[in-house]
Chain A
Amino acid sequence: MHAGWAAVSVLARKFRRIVGWDGVLSTPSDLAVYECDGYTLEKHRPDLVVFPRSTAEVVEIVRLCGQYRVPILARGAGTSLAGGCTPLGGGVLVAMTRMNHILQIDPRNRMAVVEPGVLNVQLARALEGTGLHFAPDPSSQTASTLGGNVATNAGGPHTLKYGVTGNHVLGLEVVLADGSCLQLGPALDPPGYDLLGLLVGSEGTLAILTKLWLRLTPNPQDYRTLRAVFADVEDACNAISDIIGQGIIPAAMELMDQGILAAVEEAYHFGFPLDAEAVVIIEVDGLSAGLDEQLARIVEVCRRWNARQILHASSAEERTQLWKCRKMAVGAVGRLSPSYCIQDGVVPRTQLPRIVRRIAEISRQHHIRIVNVAHAGDGNIHPILLFDQDNPEEVRRALAASYELLAACLECGGSITAEHGVGVEKLPLMPRQFAPADLEAMRRVREAFDPEGLLAPGKLLPAKPPPDQLADATPPANPPAASLTGQQSFSLYHRGGLP
């Protein structure tokens, strides 16, 4: 089955005919750059990296991979924090970064048409002055690609009011596993099964995205931004739930706990009281006419929950200043620890106090320092685990703590990922979140799109359980495509899972 190195060089030559000499990477040192993404605890080297410039080139690449039965994984900027771009078992990595053109900005239809390699921030800049913006703004937006945002259904701080990436995709052009090209949208709600809805967040396992029609949102007329300091983190969480309970949907509600505050304070000296357990940044936006009223009600709720300091911005500069501590938070973590892992879990908003307590317990139990930032309005937590990557024992403890805190999210009725996706990192937890039948339903979708198993094999869904674990097993799928060089898949799941 394994084609081996001879096939790699044949394929490299054929790819070069398609994309040009400089469009293929094949030397070990070049390939090493692509063996992981923002999640560095697991690495797999691709056999080749190809850089197409057009949909037609993607079609040819996919057809060739099909002929040689070589796994394909699309990659954007590689900012995934879950190993979404890690090529399990090698194969061909299709890097979309050269398909980076903004094709059309259409204010009348509030729509932008872009190639998948366009950076999120590149579109934001192009939209300056139009009065419109693309709402999804993941923290990675200066580096991440729009194709990657769509493939992972990326979030960010503004999803509470504006929704996730999936709510802002009008249409897609994709290349399927058999090399055929399909356009869905941009006219809304075509009848039949919602293939577009399936493709968003499918992490490269159903198709390769080659063109995106994105919905643009009018810029808010005005903002009101507030920063409240709470002595007690549970008070902060309760305030957040009460604001929603009052019928207010802020554009963002960001929580930072004592641990991250200490790091921010040490690095940048904002003047936060170091005994405060939480700082919450709340922003409402929209029509000026409604904002002061909302702000007054939010202040009232924060007071009721014992906020000891409430600052609000009365100018654009002050707004930037209030946000600064949040934007710089993750950078400050670098000062605390040689390595860190940003986790991504979600709980029902009202369970935030419970999960915060559990994280503190888990931190103590595993002797791993954990600091927290959270898109608290969504119940989306980002515990940051601090450890030393060169210390295998600490790595083991960090992984164990990660696993346990995501399992705790499930116990609270949540999910193992709100916006980072499954990647390789969360694969072992999929069977915790989903019953065998739930996973079987997902597997059917995958088999319908990619019967040969060429796209991102081993990713997103754990390997199929033995038939007796399923009420109604379907006929076995075709064997998955093998790596060219016969690398062994090395995911956490295949190692038998974490403790």
Chain B
Amino acid sequence: MSENNFPFPEVQRFRPASLEELAELVRQAVASRTPIYPIGGGTSLRYGGLPTRPGWGLSLQQLRRMVDYPARDLTITVEAGLPVAELQTLLAQQGQWWPVDAPQPDQATVGGVVACNLNGPHRYAWGSVSDYVLGLTAVDGQGMVFAAGSRVVKNAAGYNLCRLLAGSLGALAVIAQVTLRVQPLPETTAFAAAKLEDWDLADRLLRQLMQSQLLPTAIQLAVGPAWTDDPVLGELKPPAKAWLIVGLEGSAKEVAWQVEQLQSAWQAEGLRQVQILREPQSQAMWRRLVEFPVLPGLDSRLANGLPPVPNAHHGVGEERFLVVQAGVLPSQVVALAARWVQMDRRISVLAHAGHGSLVGYFPLDGVDARRWLQESIFPSVSSQHGHVHVLSAPTGVVLSPAELWSQPPCQDRLMQAIKQRFDPDGILNPGRLGFDA
């Protein structure tokens, strides 16, 4: 990826090739009070707040070795800068995978994915990124190297600091090495997708699904112009409101049985437009769902290191978008998705209906990002004890912590206290999680 994409006031970039070099760099930064911006593959640099002070870019891309892979233990230890795609290739050779959804896996690094702890469609059945982190080694804001967790799948000794660092966005410590829990690769995958013409039906089908004996691994509701002419699914034109997309993984027999069950259940509901996607189409569908939060065609200026997709099959041309993610209870998903798309016909949503998470694209032509957030998006979840955060905003849109997060981490007393103890000088990623903003 081009370093020009780095939106930070970067003075100098370092590429430590060992844990010792990394720790030494952090200590030098501590001594000179220079902010440090850890960089993995650079795919999530627009997630979180903008950096507040010029500092050093600390690339982890030289730290990319596989340290230990006892495949029969279902664990692997790798350095943080290993790209996710390379990790998955290594694992696939043993019939295994790391069941997390990382957009742009060729660039995204394992450490970066852990530091962001952003989850996609697989979270419903497989759990979160942090559920798959067993141990790690990191350097805190004073240059202290510490390890957390272990290399075994079950460990109850002390606090689970892996969970603390997962999602900490590099603002507590720089992750240098991780031990991951991995899983056997499913033999096959398929999708069943249905066009739905009303929200009540969507709600009813989801309720049925949650109470059936089926074990889908993703339950998705896709709404809006990004899905009107989908390369895999086909057209979604009014009066159709949404795609219900159910992902199935497992042995050929398990998948076949579930496809049959879904087909007959949906037939009984009078659904006529049902599609079944099998391999290799189903693989394309997984990629489509996982990549949705960074759809390059939706905003070419996001420039996530990918060339912009020139065609307009997302139906939205060259508009600029604010991309947000919300967390609510699964039963609230349909109502929230419906509420969002009713705000503006240009809004697109992918809802992870099984576990209560939604990603939405809000157009910025005509509506200010601040107005979207404060007048429409935040109020849409506040009555449901949900939360929202901005995944990315186009260049030039500068948002404060209170605009980036419905509950800004930097305003939480406990999070402040933890930050203060791991990074007393505030040199780790200042501004990114709202601290030092």
Query: Which residues of A pack against B, CB within 8 Å?
Result: 106-111, 131, 152-153, 155, 159-160, 163-164, 166-167, 176, 182-183, 186-195, 197-198, 200-202, 206, 218, 221, 241-242, 244-245, 247-249, 286-290, 293, 346-350, 375, 378-380, 413-422, 426, 430, 433-435, 437-442, 444-449, 451, 460-461, 471-472, 474
Asked if B183 is an interface residue, CB under 8 A from chain A, the answer is yes
Cβ contact within 8 Å between B211 and A107 = yes
In the assembly, what is the distance between CA of A380 and CA of B152, in Å? 9
Q: How far is the CB of A359 from chain B (nearest CB, A)?
A: 17
A and B contact pairs by CB, cutoff 8 A, 28 listed: A155-B154, A186-B329, A187-B387, A190-B407, A191-B387, A192-B167, A192-B409, A192-B412, A194-B166, A198-B159, A198-B161, A218-B215, A247-B95, A247-B184, A286-B254, A289-B254, A290-B251, A290-B253, A346-B153, A378-B152, A419-B156, A437-B147, A440-B144, A441-B146, A445-B421, A448-B420, A449-B414, A471-B145
CB contact list, B85-136 vs A, under 8 A: 95-96, 117, 119, 123, 127-128, 130-131
9 smallest A-B Cβ distances: which pairs? A197-B163, A192-B409, A247-B184, A448-B417, A444-B421, A289-B257, A187-B327, A418-B154, A290-B254
Residues on the A chain within 8 Å of B184, using CB: 247-249
Cβ contact within 8 Å between A108 and B207 = yes
Asked if B355 is an interface residue, CB under 8 A from chain A, the answer is yes
**Contacts beyond the supplied A187-B384, A194-B167, A241-B73: 9 A-B pairs with Cβ under 8 Å:** A164-B154, A191-B407, A192-B415, A193-B419, A195-B415, A197-B164, A201-B160, A348-B70, A413-B151
Residues on the B chain within 8 Å of A421, using CB: 156
Cβ contact within 8 Å between B418 and A438 = no
Given contacts A108-B207, A435-B146, contact A289 B256 (CB under 8 A): yes
Q: How far is the CB of B56 from chain A (nearest CB, A)?
A: 20
Cβ contact within 8 Å between B128 and A471 = no
| B247-272 to A contact mask, C-beta < 8 Å, 1/0 | 00011011011100000000000000
Give which listed residue, A190, A439, A440, A446, contacts B327 with CB less than 8 A.
A190
In the assembly, what is the distance between CA of A369 and CA of B330, in Å? 52
In the assembly, what is the distance between CA of A471 and CA of B355, in Å? 43
Give which listed residue, A245, A287, A415, contacts B213 with CB less than 8 A.
A287
Cβ contact within 8 Å between A159 and B417 = no
Q: CB-nearest residue of chain A relative to B73?
A: A348
Residues on the A chain within 8 Å of B140, using CB: 441
In the assembly, what is the distance between CA of A454 and CA of B8, in Å? 42
Given contacts A290-B250, A444-B418, contact A166 B160 (CB under 8 A): yes
Cβ contact within 8 Å between B157 and A192 = no
Give which listed residue, A241, A378, A416, A448, contacts B157 with CB less than 8 A.
A416
Asked if B210 is an interface residue, CB under 8 A from chain A, the answer is yes
Residues on the B chain within 8 Å of A451, using CB: 417
Q: How far is the CB of B434 from chain A (nearest CB, A)?
A: 8
In the assembly, what is the distance between CA of A439 and CA of B144, in Å? 12
Given contacts A349-B73, A448-B417, contact A187 B385 (CB under 8 A): yes
Cβ contact within 8 Å between B148 and A438 = yes
Given contacts A163-B131, A187-B356, A287-B258, contact A445 B253 (CB under 8 A): no
Cβ contact within 8 Å between B172 and A193 = yes
Residues on the A chain within 8 Å of B152, using CB: 346-348, 378-379, 413-415, 418
Q: How far is the CB of A412 from chain B (nearest CB, A)?
A: 9
Asked if B241 is an interface residue, CB under 8 A from chain A, the answer is no
Counting residue pairs across A and B whose Cβ atoms lie within 8 Å, the total is: 264
| B399-437 to A contact mask, C-beta < 8 Å, 1/0 | 000000101110010110111111010000000010000
Residues on the A chain within 8 Å of B380, using CB: none
Residues on the B chain within 8 Å of A189, using CB: 117, 119, 123, 128, 167, 327, 357
Residues on the A chain within 8 Å of B144, using CB: 437, 440-441, 471-472
Residues on the B chain within 8 Å of A247, using CB: 95-96, 184-185
In the assembly, what is the distance between CA of A346 and CA of B184, in Å? 21
Residues on the B chain within 8 Å of A413, using CB: 150-152
Cβ contact within 8 Å between B164 and A346 = no
Asked if B54 is an interface residue, CB under 8 A from chain A, the answer is no
Max chain A C-beta neighbours (<10 A), residue from B96, B130, B167, B207? B167
Give which listed residue, B159, B215, B422, contacts A202 with CB less than 8 A.
B159
Residues on the B chain within 8 Å of A186, using CB: 329, 385
Q: How far is the CB of A184 from chain B (nearest CB, A)?
A: 10
Q: CB-nearest residue of chain A relative to B413?
A: A180
Cβ contact within 8 Å between B154 and A434 = no
CB contact list, B211-269 vs A, under 8 A: 211, 213-215, 250-251, 253-254, 256-258
Asked if B64 is an interface residue, CB under 8 A from chain A, the answer is no
Given contacts A293-B251, A438-B148, contact A474 B127 (CB under 8 A): no
Cβ contact within 8 Å between A244 and B156 = no
Cβ contact within 8 Å between A350 and B73 = yes
In the assembly, what is the distance between CA of A442 and CA of B422, in Å? 10
Q: CB-nearest residue of chain B relative to A449?
A: B414
Cβ contact within 8 Å between A378 and B127 = no
Give which listed residue, A167, A201, A241, A434, contacts B127 with CB less than 8 A.
A167
Residues on the A chain within 8 Å of B123, using CB: 188-189
In the assembly, what is the distance between CA of A426 and CA of B157, in Å? 9
Cβ contact within 8 Å between A417 and B405 = no
Q: How far is the CB of A411 from chain B (nearest CB, A)?
A: 13
Cβ contact within 8 Å between A461 and B254 = no
Q: How far is the CB of B19 from chain A (nearest CB, A)?
A: 13
Q: How far is the CB of A239 from chain B (nearest CB, A)?
A: 12
Residues on the B chain within 8 Å of A242, using CB: 72
In the assembly, what is the distance between CA of A106 and CA of B386, in Å? 17
Give which listed residue, A202, A418, A435, contacts B155 with CB less than 8 A.
A418
Give which listed residue, B131, B158, B168, B384, contacts A434 with CB less than 8 A.
B158
Give which listed residue, A200, A286, A417, A471, contacts B215 with CB less than 8 A.
A286
Residues on the A chain within 8 Å of B207, using CB: 108
Cβ contact within 8 Å between A193 and B161 = no
Cβ contact within 8 Å between B160 and A198 = yes
Cβ contact within 8 Å between B210 and A474 = no
Asked if B350 is an interface residue, CB under 8 A from chain A, the answer is no
Residues on the A chain within 8 Å of B142, using CB: 472
Give which listed residue, B154, B251, B408, contacts A380 with CB less than 8 A.
B154
Residues on the A chain within 8 Å of B409, using CB: 191-193
Q: How far is the CB of B369 from chain A (nearest CB, A)?
A: 17
Cβ contact within 8 Å between B147 and A415 = no
Asked if B195 is an interface residue, CB under 8 A from chain A, the answer is no
Cβ contact within 8 Å between B387 and A289 = no
Q: How far is the CB of B96 from chain A (nearest CB, A)?
A: 8
Cβ contact within 8 Å between B254 and A287 = yes
Residues on the A chain within 8 Å of B414, using CB: 176, 182, 193, 195, 448-449
Cβ contact within 8 Å between B250 and A287 = yes
Residues on the A chain within 8 Å of B71, using CB: 245
Asked if B39 is an interface residue, CB under 8 A from chain A, the answer is no
| B371-389 to A contact mask, C-beta < 8 Å, 1/0 | 0000000000000111101
Cβ contact within 8 Å between B356 and A434 = no
Asked if B290 is an interface residue, CB under 8 A from chain A, the answer is no
In the assembly, what is the distance between CA of A103 and CA of B327, in Å? 23
Max chain B C-beta neighbours (<10 A), residue from A200, A201, A375? A201
Cβ contact within 8 Å between B153 and A379 = yes
Cβ contact within 8 Å between A187 and B328 = yes
In the assembly, what is the distance between CA of A195 and CA of B207, in Å? 30
